[in-house]
Structure 1
Amino acid sequence: MPTTPATGLDVGTLLDRIEGTAPIQAVEAAAEALAGMTGARELTFLIADFSGRAVVRLTSTASRTEGARTQEGAHAETVTLHGTVYERVLRTQEVDVQALADGARLTVPVTDRGDAIGLLELVLPTHPSARVIADIAGAAHALAYVVIAARRYTDVFEWGQRTTPFSLAAEIQRRLLPAAYTCEAGQFTLAGWLEPAASVGGDTFDYTLNRDSLHVSITDAVGHEVDAALLATLFVGGLRNARRKGLDLGAQARYANDALADNAPAGQFVTGQLVRIDLATRTAAVVNAGHPFPFRLRHGRAEEIELGIEPPFGVVPRKSFRLQRLSLDPGDRIVLLTDGMQERNAGSLDVAAALVATQDLHPREVVHELGAAVMHATGGDLRDDATMVCLDWYGGPQRRTDSENGADAALASAARPGVADPPGR
């Protein structure tokens, strides 16, 4: 007789099971422990691919399948997202429960602060109660922390997420991007995305959250390939160094500008916008160095935010950049972008209309939709990197994260087959 999964699944016990395991074994150890605690017949972890259009099932080579990639004992099977339950769960962050003749299949988001790391798929011997589904959703959230910790020590997760090989320029560019592309943090939710051109164009985005401030940047280095990637590295390194010295926004801009002027070849420059939001006063300032205007979606209407234009970084040594006020009201959506979104062969893309059409989506999905839109507009012939950052500003008290909402949705309604109720953003 099949056993019914016990309620009150202990996440602490789950984490204890992986203590002492090697980092490369931590995720599999957590999966095995969870399978034992739930009575699951099958349990697999799928990590989100860097393309945003697939997930990758990571296992040992002992379970290899035809057409999958293998490397040093690791096995990666790529699954295209379009039209699948995996796509639906990643996009909605809702637990999917599919009734089987002899149990149920659950597909559960593995997410931390809105950053969709992957999915947990398991087959249970009986249809689970709402309590069990909520417990498994909580365990999947804990698994996100296991993945975050483990991937600091190994290339396996990074390798698995690359369904196409990276060039040297792309490898350099990848190191400049934040570890998590999405952050839910109470007063705001932020997400970024980079659609790379066939010839890497030197785009970057970055953010950091301090106790009283949020810093966001989007930049575009002149040129292509390794030269552009190295120029971007110099600028982003200067900007991060200035920020970590505790310099204010104006001083950060001057410091990074001089890093280029003093160290880059003549004629090299970087366009960009630097934003600092004071979370206590709920005010924002922006530096605009020769960069395309951002957009604001407010009350269902999207329009460009016209800013004063100053020279790109690296053009005028020892320059002091003007701080401009960035108006923020609760409910605003701010989108920063690079000129790859406005290339001549992307002329059919109306960014403002696209923002209105996606206004009900999470920022994580907005940047994916914009990336897909520019690829469609260019027929896949993207001649420059297209990068975007979407910031939803709430301005008030702490908001709940996807994982918290998803767990409650599972508890409230996942006793029935099908998809759990939406988290109610």
Structure 2
Amino acid sequence: MDDEIAEDRSEGFGERLLGLLLDRARHLPPQLIAPLIAEEVGRVGGRDVSILLQDYAQELLVPLPGRKLHVSQPEPVIDSPAGRAFLSGDVVEAPLARGGVRMYLPLLDGSDTVGVMALTLDAVGEDDRRLLSRLASLVADLLVTKNAYTDQFFQARRREPMSVSAEIQWTLLPPLSMSVPQVEVAGMLEPAYRVAGDSFDYALNDNILHSAVIDAMGHGLDAATMATVAIGAYRHARRVFIGLAEKYAFMDDAISRQFGPDHFVTAQLMHINIASGEMALVNAGHPAPLLIRDGRVVRQLESATTLPVGIGGEEPRIREHTLQRGDRVLCYTDGIIEEHVAGGELFGEERLIDCVNRVGEEPPQGVRADLRRLSHMLKSERGGRTSDDATLFMIEWRGGAADHLAVLD
């Protein structure tokens, strides 16, 4: 009986604490998020609170500066407790040599991890885990919402000077990952601080995952401007519920009208029914996506040739495929395979496929983590060089249903 009363008190205390944060969130200036979070953590006995955000190269978790926050050195995404929490989406607890436990709580915006909240407790119980996990969810919502009102979070994530074209592209992107029971997606752009013409976009509308990967010709602001128009036209077409052929035609018309006949954008447009695994693909001048099954590339997803966006004007050719549960589809731009390696030869598709298979030999860690491992491996194999935009976008289809999530226990 006493245990039940203690638990009820803890739940009530947590509700009051979280309610205070919710009540103040609407009017809270961005610079006061940090001290309010530190105060709330302090009320449950926590100390040395850090908010760690992913840098744009997706290699480090960098501390957000702020009053009452503990600001330490950036932590690597790979092989650190903070990185494990970030990649797995699970709480990581690390005992400290001097006593106490350092907790790392993923900051989840839906299924996209925006960072990690770290704090130290003398001891950790179930009440602490429940309350702090809920607090981390509210902190993530605050960071995403207030990000639209400030440059503070952007400045913390930026580790080197960024080009204007890259600024445009990062503003254009959707969340870098999304996960629901039936499907998971993740994307990466390189070089993070100089990318110009590459981009990707996706949306899950009912049972259809809509996705696009594009590569605008040229470099710098010209390419970024074309990519912006292409993605804008794609989103407009997607939101009026038209098919792949109409999306292609709408994008083609927008690019040709705005930039003339000498400019174009290569693109891959896909629909995947997340209930059935049926996939429709338009490939407009892109390298063919790779189908990965059981960790290995089994084939390219070929499609009939369609002219790049902007110089098309004809009905695109749609190719249909059927995925098996657990299949992954990897889309990439030509900057991945056309990079020159030692000796002057092109990196090529064979080396890409070899890297994909090597990543697949390790136990899967989820699409986001595995794509990051692949990206880092590719960069290492290319000698750290990325002279052209290079984009990776991966989809994993799982099937099944998610209706049970809408039913309260």
State whether TM-score is above 0.5: yes
Distance 1:94 1:21, change over 3 A: same
Relative to the length of structure 2, the TM-score reads 0.85
- Give secondary structure in 1 for the equivalent of 2:64: strand
Match of 1:54 in 2: 60
Following superposition, the deviation at residue 293 of structure 1 comes to: 0.9
User: Does 189-198 or 262-271 show the bigger shift?
Assistant: 189-198
- Aligned partner letter, 1:118: G
**CA distance in structure 2 between the partners assigned to 1:201 and 1:16 by the alignment:** 39
- Residue 289 of structure 2 contacts residue 330 of structure 2 at CA under 8 Å; is this kept in 1? yes
Following superposition, the deviation at residue 31 of structure 1 comes to: 1.1
Following superposition, the deviation at residue 52 of structure 1 comes to: 0.8
Does residue 31 of the first structure (1) align with residue 37 of the second (2)? yes
Q: Deviations over 1:250-300 (max 9, x none)?
A: 101111011111211332111110011234554221111011111111234
- Residue 52 of structure 2 contacts residue 64 of structure 2 at CA under 8 Å; is this kept in 1? yes
Distance 1:250 1:354, change over 3 A: farther
Q: Deviations over 1:171-208 (max 9, x none)?
A: 12222211x11111221111111122785351111101
What count of residue pairs does the alignment treat as equivalent? 385
Distance 1:247 1:44, change over 3 A: same
Task: Give the alignment partner of residue 253 of structure 1, picking from 244, 248, 255.
Answer: 248
Match of 2:401 in 1: 397
Does residue 298 of the first structure (1) align with residue 293 of the second (2)? yes
Following superposition, the deviation at residue 364 of structure 1 comes to: 0.6
Q: Deviations over 1:206-256 (max 9, x none)?
A: 101112321111111111111111111121111111112222221011110
Does residue 176 of the first structure (1) align with residue 172 of the second (2)? yes
- Residue 304 of structure 2 contacts residue 318 of structure 2 at CA under 8 Å; is this kept in 1? no
- Give secondary structure in 2 for the equivalent of 1:18: helix
**CA distance in structure 2 between the partners assigned to 1:359 and 1:384 by the alignment:** 31
Match of 1:371 in 2: 375
Task: Give the alignment partner of residue 150 of structure 1, picking from 146, 151, 159.
Answer: 146
- Residue 335 of structure 2 contacts residue 390 of structure 2 at CA under 8 Å; is this kept in 1? yes
Alignment of 1:357-368 (within 5 A): 357=361, 360-368=364-372
**CA distance in structure 2 between the partners assigned to 1:18 and 1:25 by the alignment:** 13
Alignment of 1:406-425 (within 5 A): none
**CA distance in structure 2 between the partners assigned to 1:362 and 1:399 by the alignment:** 22
Following superposition, the deviation at residue 391 of structure 1 comes to: 0.9
**CA distance in structure 1 between the partners assigned to 2:192 and 2:170 by the alignment:** 13
**CA distance in structure 2 between the partners assigned to 1:394 and 1:135 by the alignment:** 31
Match of 1:218 in 2: 213
Does residue 40 of the first structure (1) align with residue 69 of the second (2)? no
- Give secondary structure in 2 for the equivalent of 1:322: coil
Does residue 315 of the first structure (1) align with residue 311 of the second (2)? yes
Does residue 95 of the first structure (1) align with residue 99 of the second (2)? no
**CA distance in structure 1 between the partners assigned to 2:52 and 2:267 by the alignment:** 35
Following superposition, the deviation at residue 382 of structure 1 comes to: 0.8
User: Does 54-63 or 208-217 show the bigger shift?
Assistant: 54-63
Following superposition, the deviation at residue 21 of structure 1 comes to: 3.5
**CA distance in structure 1 between the partners assigned to 2:138 and 2:75 by the alignment:** 24
- Residue 53 of structure 2 contacts residue 64 of structure 2 at CA under 8 Å; is this kept in 1? yes
Does residue 104 of the first structure (1) align with residue 101 of the second (2)? yes
Does residue 276 of the first structure (1) align with residue 282 of the second (2)? no
Distance 1:63 1:150, change over 3 A: closer
- Aligned partner letter, 2:321: L
- Give secondary structure in 1 for the equivalent of 2:155: helix
**CA distance in structure 1 between the partners assigned to 2:227 and 2:277 by the alignment:** 30
Match of 1:411 in 2: none
- Give secondary structure in 1 for the equivalent of 2:279: strand
Following superposition, the deviation at residue 89 of structure 1 comes to: 2.2
User: Does 388-397 or 338-347 show the bigger shift?
Assistant: 338-347
- Give secondary structure in 2 for the equivalent of 1:326: strand
Q: Which runs of 5+ in 1 are unaligned?
A: 69-76, 402-425
Task: Give the alignment partner of residue 158 of structure 2, picking from 162, 165, 174.
Answer: 162
Match of 1:121 in 2: 118
Match of 2:344 in 1: none
Following superposition, the deviation at residue 137 of structure 1 comes to: 2.1
Distance 1:351 1:61, change over 3 A: same
**CA distance in structure 1 between the partners assigned to 2:224 and 2:118 by the alignment:** 38
Q: Deviations over 1:16-53 (max 9, x none)?
A: 35335434145325413431331213222111111111
For the aligned residues, what is the CA RMSD?
2.7
Alignment of 1:187-202 (within 5 A): 187-196=182-191, 200-202=195-197
**CA distance in structure 1 between the partners assigned to 2:395 and 2:243 by the alignment:** 21
- Give secondary structure in 1 for the equivalent of 2:21: helix
- Residue 201 of structure 1 contacts residue 224 of structure 1 at CA under 8 Å; is this kept in 2? yes
- Residue 85 of structure 2 contacts residue 106 of structure 2 at CA under 8 Å; is this kept in 1? yes
Following superposition, the deviation at residue 351 of structure 1 comes to: 4.2
**CA distance in structure 2 between the partners assigned to 1:370 and 1:399 by the alignment:** 33
Alignment of 1:203-214 (within 5 A): 203-214=198-209
Match of 2:133 in 1: 137
**CA distance in structure 1 between the partners assigned to 2:307 and 2:382 by the alignment:** 29
**CA distance in structure 1 between the partners assigned to 2:403 and 2:357 by the alignment:** 28
Following superposition, the deviation at residue 84 of structure 1 comes to: 2.7
Q: Which runs of 5+ in 2 are unaligned?
A: 1-5, 342-346
Following superposition, the deviation at residue 82 of structure 1 comes to: 4.8
- Give secondary structure in 2 for the equivalent of 1:274: strand
**CA distance in structure 2 between the partners assigned to 1:300 and 1:231 by the alignment:** 35
Relative to the length of structure 1, the TM-score reads 0.82
Q: Deviations over 1:89-140 (max 9, x none)?
A: 222333222334443221221123331211111112x211133223322321
- Residue 88 of structure 2 contacts residue 365 of structure 2 at CA under 8 Å; is this kept in 1? no
- Aligned partner letter, 2:52: L
